[in-house]
Amino acid sequence: MHARSVAAAAIDGVTGELVQSRLTPSYDHIAGWLRGLPGPVAVAYEAGPTGFGLFRYLTAAGIRCEVVAPSKLQKPAGDRIKTDAKDAIHLARLLRLDEVTAVAIPGVEQEAVRDLVRAREDCRGDLMRARHRLSKLLLRHGIVYCGGAAWTGKHDAWLRREALPQLGSPVTRLAFDSGYESVLATKARRDRLDEQIEQIAADSEFTPLVQRLGCLRGISTLTGLALAVEIGDWHRFTGGTIATFVGLVPSEYSSGQLRAQGSITKTGNGHARRLLVEAAWHHRARYRIGKTMRDRWNLAPAAARIRGDEGNHRLHQRWVRFIERRKRHTVANVAIARELAGWCWSLAVMDD
């Protein structure tokens, strides 16, 4: 599947006859070609930037369709020639043998919310880059802020009242105005997205799940909703396999008596992995039940509150043991994030 072309191949399950064609990305054209084949027909295509529109269209038309995970496809190690036509034939053969691993298809509402959450993540990155450009412009002219934390109200007043007058050239001031305007516009866009995400999290099909996940430290409304829409159906995992899906388990190269483990695999959903790693840092500080945590607990069922409290105690105790062992903090935090994924799973599959 490409944006402007589709390579198709079909294998007759009885005679083994191979049929190949070059199609347009039009769903009607693809469905029409499939209807011309002797049925019943099963279809597979690789997950990619073309999304799940074809899957939904064919499923609605009564045609079995599988969206295949490209990283799970079996490919001959000695095959060094790759073309769309050969890939289509290979997919057809694997589907005929039922040797394909299908990805979980998100619902329309889930995919829409996921796009919104990822737009907010992109906005966060844009804001960070805009702030860096502005601060480095001042640094090149020897202007450095030393009044505490940056990008606060006090820092903003310093930028306008002290930093800007120190720029002697009018042209440099124009560059400063451009960078400062970019920071304000991006920040306003991020705040609008945050407000919309808060509204969705408070009144949608994901609200009960977000409220249960919020019983854990580091899982805010934004993080809870993002985990909910990124992972989707939590019941397809267990407490041990959820960490594999987000790529938080160690890589391993073992053979015979040799067993060697390396860094984490970083496979699967990178968005969820980043959220879990960031949330794990919150469990390093001493565990105290403050107003923010109590407000979240008031929205969740009693069983979720008890489970969340157990998880918070357990994860902080693990942090303490890592610190006593002088474990490198980045390595320890990844281990905490791996266990945090399991605690999130236990809350996600809990009955309301």
Q: What is the pLDDT, as a whole number, of residue 256?
A: 86
| Per-block mean pLDDT, blocks of 10 residues, the chain (352 long) | 94 92 95 92 94 95 94 86 94 94 94 96 97 97 94 96 94 97 97 96 95 96 96 93 94 88 91 96 95 94 96 97 96 96 96 68
First to last CA, the chain: 40
Cα–Cα distance measured from residue 101 to residue 318, given in angstroms and rounded to the nearest whole number: 35
Q: What is the pLDDT, as a whole number, of residue 309?
A: 96
Query: Which tokens go with 120?
Result: 């907010």
Q: What is the pLDDT, as a whole number, of residue 39?
A: 79
pTM for the whole structure: 0.90
Smallest CA-to-CA distance from 119 within 192, 193, 184 is with: 193
What is the residue-wise DSSP string for 159-170?
IIIIIGGG---H
Smallest CA-to-CA distance from 31 within 51, 8, 52, 49 is with: 8
Q: What is the pLDDT, as a whole number, of residue 352?
A: 58
Query: Which tokens go with 275?
Result: 């959220």
Helix axes 221-231, 108-140, angle to 10 degrees: 130
Residues constituting the chain: 352
Q: What is the pLDDT, as a whole number, of residue 255?
A: 87
Residue 46's H or E segment, with its range, is strand 42-46
Query: Which of the 8 DSSP states describes residue 283?
Result: G
Which residue blocks in 61-169 are alpha helix, DSSP H? 84-96, 108-140, 153-158
Residues 6+ apart with CB under 8 A from 103: 47, 67, 68, 69
Q: What is the pLDDT, as a whole number, of residue 79?
A: 84
Residue at 347: amino acid letter: L
Smallest CA-to-CA distance from 176 within 187, 190, 164, 188 is with: 164
Q: What is the pLDDT, as a whole number, of residue 94?
A: 95
Residue at 281: amino acid letter: W
* HSE (side-chain half, CA atoms, 13 Å) at 241: 6
Strand partners, 19: 10
Cα–Cα distance measured from residue 114 to residue 8, given in angstroms and rounded to the nearest whole number: 30
